[in-house]
Structure 1
Amino acid sequence: MQEYYRDTWAEIDLDAIEHNVKQIKALHPTKEIFAVVKANGYGHGDVEVSKVAIEAGVSCLAVSGLEEALCLRKSDIDVPILVLGMTRLCDVSLAAKYDISLTAHDEMWIKELVSLPLEKSVKVHLKIDSGMHRLGLMNEEQIQTNFALLKSAPMVNLEGIFTHMATADCDKDYLSHQIKTFKRLIAKLDLSEVKYIHLENTATLLQKEFDFDHGIRLGLGLYGINPDAKFIPIDFELKPALKLLSNLVQVKQIKKGDKVGYGATYTAQEDEWIGVVPIGYADGWTRSHQGRHVIVEGHECEIIGRVCMDQMMIRLPKSFPMGTKVTLIGDKMPVERVAEEIGTISYEILCLISDRVPRVYKRGGKTTNIKKMRFE
């Protein structure tokens, strides 16, 4: 097992990943589940999360780009993998070689795809723009024409059709509008030979009134997080899989009036104990966290002064020994709170955790692997 040499790490509970998959499968037992493991599994580790999710019953994976898909294939993962983003036409043959499904998102792209001199057929999912207005075809006639073109192409296997919801975590009216739009746009298509029809993301699938009788893409919920618990109450437990932890590397007492950090933006109002924590914006813990809190032995401790590239300072209620654990994300400091306090979303907080931070994987409370991503 590898060692790491800095007192900052992310702890990943793989049992929580398994639990979350089983909870969703119990909610939707007949549906194909795509585990969304793009962006390095939302910062959790794509290979490790994928393997556990597959063991728990996930049948497919979804990633952002071809490079992410190839990484999974080269890690001996052989379930279907869908690339959700655009893939360059010059790379289609590579995707076909490794049996990676691509998103057909644009009329010109599709026209060129079907004329490529491929040696092996490529699998594609046709992307419908039902109102997100990102990737996808949005005109009914255009969709029918390109659907027929893909179906008739000898070296193309049209295995899926899908769309994506823009407001599933905040606006049910627009969500309902998108679902109706998607159903209308595909109503005249012969889908009898299309294996996967999917529109539900985590926020959509948690809302039972919008249940759609096909595949689902399990993203944030896979990692144990409800996109918005206030908007989407659920009657079962999702278990957060990630904790972001560090240790105090120095504790000192400063005097009233002393300044702390770059720009001297913090002034001690009295004699104070402060601690230095070895995490900074190069690790994904941005300067916007100044003024927020972390947890030290049950105490909420304010981040004082500007967050540095590699370190930050916190105000302590008393002296603590060097090496005392600091919780940035975890017990009593859920990622949802972290995100809300700096005006962003949980996805961003998790994805920003950089490859300098080792991932420590646990099952049954025991460490099973330590991955230093920068060196692998």
Structure 2
Amino acid sequence: MSGAVAHVDLDAISQNIRTLGALAPRSQFMLAVKSNAYGHGLHEVVRTGLGAGVSSFGVLETTAGIALRASGVEVPVFAWMHGHGTDFAAAAEARVDLGVQTFWQLEAIAASGSSVRPRVHLKIDTGLHRGGADRPRWAEFVTEALRLQALGKLEVVAAWSHLSDTSHSADLASTRLFSAAVDEARSLGAEFELLHLGASAAVIDLPEAHFDLVRVGIAAYGISPFDDRSAADLGLRPAMQLRAPVLDARHGLASIAVGFGDGIQSDPAAAAFVVVDGHAAPVIEVGVDETVVALPPAAGAVAAGSECIVFGDGSRGEATAEQWASWGGTVGDEIVTGLTGRVRRQFAGS
């Protein structure tokens, strides 16, 4: 265990959920809690989400969905990333809805032998090319799902897709493609309970993609899904602050007890800084277990044990996860999700 601690403000997550939910008031709100709730703590975030009015949860793997059921979660749970070793029967019996993207997944789910009919959401590829039936084979995909439903092997309950978020016009075109695919599926006999397409970016910018349900991920944690607007611009509060103690300070340099072994960027841009005792300290080098920073003259006598803030909400002059992402040429999702198990999580709020 390193000396770094990720402080998670659950009240910020609750506020963000309410802010984003107000943008899609006629849609159900699915909170994506994949990858340990983007590094924020799965079970703590789930409890917060339930208190904030979340209607369902999205995970990647069925094992995470089954774990939520075991913890007492009763609202719908949706899992959509399946390998050939996925235990579809266990998922169905735990009442985990299954996102289905390929013919082999349909057949494997139908052959799983579950005592409960698996509930499936059929995915159409609308241009992102991240899974889903290609448009030319969509009718065949739907027809096969309906055949298996007629045999009692599964239940078709939803249609869904992902947007590319490359541009407003591209996403609008994908939304129209999705609607056309849904109409075609219905003409073949599909009766969908739910349609879902929009995620964080679409909730904010594309009301045409809200449909029955919206899937909100990174924005709920206070990180912008856009390159040109920050969380603050969107009225969102970053929920995580990463702190670490000073290990040693001498000759104008300080070593901080956090490194790329804890998940921070190993080679950030020259503009990178942390805040030590309230003063911005440029990052000189990031190692496995510690980071060396240059102490400004105004910092005065920094001693071992002094507080360092690596990133947070910016309220104490620190950089945000979004800024660290820009320094590392990545996205804010990676900064918070990439924190390793060595970093202890500490929770505040409801």
Give the TM-score, by structure 1 length. 0.84
Match of 1:223 in 2: 221
Match of 2:208 in 1: 210
1:143 aligns to 2:123 (yes or no): no
1:287 aligns to 2:285 (yes or no): no
Q: Decide whether the 8 Å contact of 2:33 with 2:42 is kept in 1.
A: yes
Match of 1:81 among 62, 77, 80: 77
Match of 2:246 in 1: 248
Q: Which has the larger radius of gyration?
A: 1
- Following superposition of structure 1 onto structure 2, how do residues 131-170 of structure 1 map, counting pairs within 5 Å? 131-138=127-134, 139-166=137-164, 168=165, 170=166
- Following superposition of structure 1 onto structure 2, how do residues 54-69 of structure 1 map, counting pairs within 5 Å? 54-69=50-65
CA shift at 1:235, angstroms?
Answer: 7.5
1:181 aligns to 2:155 (yes or no): no
Q: Decide whether the 8 Å contact of 1:20 with 1:223 is kept in 2.
A: yes
Structure 1 residue matching 2:305: 3-state secondary structure: coil
Letter in 1 for 2:329: G
**C-alpha separation between the residues in 1 aligned to 2:217 and 2:86?**
29
Residues 275, 110 of structure 1: alpha-carbon distance in 2 compared, 3 angstrom cutoff: same
CA shift at 1:315, angstroms?
Answer: 0.7
Note the alpha carbon deviations across 1:38-67, whole angstroms, 9 max, x for none.
Answer: 011001011111110111100100011122
- Return 5+ residue gaps in structure 2 as ranges: none
**C-alpha separation between the residues in 2 aligned to 1:320 and 1:60?**
47
CA shift at 1:224, angstroms?
Answer: 1.4
Q: Decide whether the 8 Å contact of 1:223 with 1:240 is kept in 2.
A: yes
1:311 aligns to 2:290 (yes or no): yes
**C-alpha separation between the residues in 1 aligned to 2:113 and 2:37?**
34
Match of 2:310 among 315, 328, 334: 328
Letter in 2 for 1:344: T
RMSD: 2.2
CA shift at 1:298, angstroms?
Answer: 3.5
CA shift at 1:232, angstroms?
Answer: 8.8
Letter in 2 for 1:283: D
Further displaced range: 228-237 or 194-203: 228-237
Match of 1:256 in 2: none
**C-alpha separation between the residues in 2 aligned to 1:120 and 1:89?**
19
Q: Decide whether the 8 Å contact of 1:252 with 1:275 is kept in 2.
A: yes
Structure 2 residue matching 1:287: 3-state secondary structure: coil
Residues 148, 155 of structure 1: alpha-carbon distance in 2 compared, 3 angstrom cutoff: closer
Identical counterparts, % of pairs: 25
Structure 1 runs, 4 residues or longer, greater than 6 Å off: 232-235
CA shift at 1:205, angstroms?
Answer: 1.1
Q: Decide whether the 8 Å contact of 1:329 with 1:335 is kept in 2.
A: yes
Give the TM-score, by structure 2 length. 0.90
Letter in 2 for 1:152: A
CA shift at 1:209, angstroms?
Answer: 5.0
Task: Kindly tell me the number of residue pairs found equivalent between the two proteins.
Answer: 338
**C-alpha separation between the residues in 2 aligned to 1:146 and 1:39?**
32
Letter in 1 for 2:328: I
Q: Decide whether the 8 Å contact of 1:200 with 1:217 is kept in 2.
A: yes
